[in-house]
Structure 1
Amino acid sequence: MVEQIREIAETYLGNFTKDVNLAEKLKSARTLDNCLEIYLTQTDSGKGRIQAQSTSGIIVGIIKSRDWSLCEGDVFITKSGKLLLIHLQEQRLMVLSFTEPVENHAIELVHLGHVLGNHHWPIIIKKNKIYIQLIIDAAIIEATIAKFKIPGLKIDYELRSPQEHFDFSHHSHHS
């Protein structure tokens, strides 16, 4: 049986960490049990249509533009008048680093970047590391990378909290 959405949220109120009045409103709503809370993945935070289960078990549908991603602390109001508080889960990333100099492997690295891009696997390059957002099974990405046989290429994983997550989107947040 498919669970029916019991709450719809499409009116964005802001982020309570940046708005003192909204923080007070949220505190009051929590006291009155008029607040729903959900935990989303970083990948889901950028979608235009999101379905999630609240911590109290209520199924919530969020409708928003895809040109911005939800952040930790964002607040919506549902059609029934409840506040909806967004939490983001830790972000698990694949991290590529190198144990050997890569100067002699520039062509392979360009080709790797091209393949990652063709698969639409979002990457960010920071401090000589390549971070890959895991939007599919990590084993598939690992198998693809292994085909390049780049000497010294090391694959690790890292967890990032919502406060230190990487935004793989090229879009800015709704203000």
Structure 2
Amino acid sequence: MVEQIREIAETYLGNLTKDADLAQRVKSARTLDNYLEIYLSQTDSGKGRIQAQSTSGTIVGIIKNRDWSLSEGDVFITQSGKLLLIHLQEERLMVLSFTEPVENYAIELVHLGHVLGNHHWPIIIKKNKIYIQLIIDAPIIEETIAKFKIPGLKIDYESCSPQENFHFSHHSHNI
């Protein structure tokens, strides 16, 4: 078994899209091969402990508070002094919309919202659409939604870039 190099990053330096000096520092580190780059799912960006593989194959552990989410362009420094650049991947979302009026289905819609919440499936409502973050396999969510038999309920999928500002809150029962 080949042992992989591991790095730990827990010191946040800032975001290169907002800090020109940091952007220059990242550029220099890249030239000197003192640099790592990782691509994370948007779901992982809010976690406190993240393990990912860099583009060069190095296993990286990121330790941060869970009260904030990583953004495209965030930079950490690892314990060995390498700069770590964060990229966020596009995310596929389930989108619920309605092709018919839903005024007569208020109870069913409230029940649907309750069930989605009980499953801890993060949702956002924007412009008369319900966006569901796919934290589990889509067919499971589709099957759950189909049980409500709401006329005109349409299920589609959209890709969401990290810049589109879909910040799902991750609910917990911790007090």
- Tell me the residue number matched to 2:97: 97
3-state SS, counterpart of residue 60 of structure 1: strand
Q: Once the 2 structures are TM-superposed, how far is the Cα of residue 160 of structure 1 from its aligned partner? A: 1.2
Question: In 1, are the aligned partners of 2:121 and 2:133 still within 8 Å (CA)?
Answer: yes
Q: Find the residue that maps to 1:28 and give its secondary structure.
A: helix
Question: What is the identity, as a one-letter code, of the residue corresponding to 2:17?
Answer: T
> Contact conserved, 1:91 with 1:165, CA < 8 A, in 2?
no
Find the residue that maps to 1:26 and give its secondary structure.
helix
**Contact 2:7/2:78 (<8 A) preserved:** yes
2:106 counterpart of 1:106? yes
The number of residue pairs the alignment matches comes to 171
Cα distance, 1:67 vs structure 2: 0.7
Query: Aligned residue for 1:86?
Result: 86
1:2 shift after superposition: 9.5
The Cα of 1:169 is off from its aligned counterpart by 2.6
Structure 2 CA distance for aligned equivalents of residues 2 and 161 of structure 1? 35
1:12 corresponds to which residue? Answer: 12
> Greater CA deviation, 160-169 or 64-73?
160-169
Quickly say closer, same or farther: Cα 1:29–1:114, change in 2 above 3 A. same
1:2 and 1:166 map into 2 onto residues whose CA distance is 39
- Contact kept, 8 Å, 2:122 with 2:170, in 1: the verdict is no
2:35 aligns with 35
Considering only aligned residues, what root-mean-square deviation do their CA atoms show, in Å?
1.6
Question: Which one-letter code corresponds to 2:128 in the other structure?
Answer: N
Does the residue aligned with 2:163 lie in a helix, a strand or coil? coil
What is the deviation of 1:145? 0.4
Contact kept? 2:10, 2:77, Cα under 8 Å = yes
Closer, same or farther in 2 for the Cα pair 1:61/1:17, shift >3 Å?
Answer: same
- Corresponding residue for 1:120? 120
Q: Deviations over 1:112-153 (max 9, x none)?
A: 000000111010000000000111111111010000000000
Separation of aligned partners in 2, 1:136 and 1:47: 16
Secondary structure in structure 1 of the residue aligned to 2:143: helix
What percentage of aligned pairs have identical amino acids?
88
Task: Tell me how far apart the structure 2 counterparts of residues 130 and 101 of structure 1 sit (CA, whole Å).
Answer: 15
User: How far 1:170 moved relative to its partner?
Assistant: 6.9
* Alignment check: 8 A CA contact 2:74 2:86 kept: yes
Q: How does 1:137-152 map onto structure 2 within 5 Å?
A: 137-152=137-152
Q: Which runs of 5+ in 2 are unaligned?
A: none
Following superposition, which runs of at least 4 residues in structure 1 exceed 4 angstroms of deviation?
A: 1-5
Alignment of 1:42-57 (within 5 A): 42-57=42-57
Superposed counterparts of 1:156-167, under 5 Å: 156-167=156-167
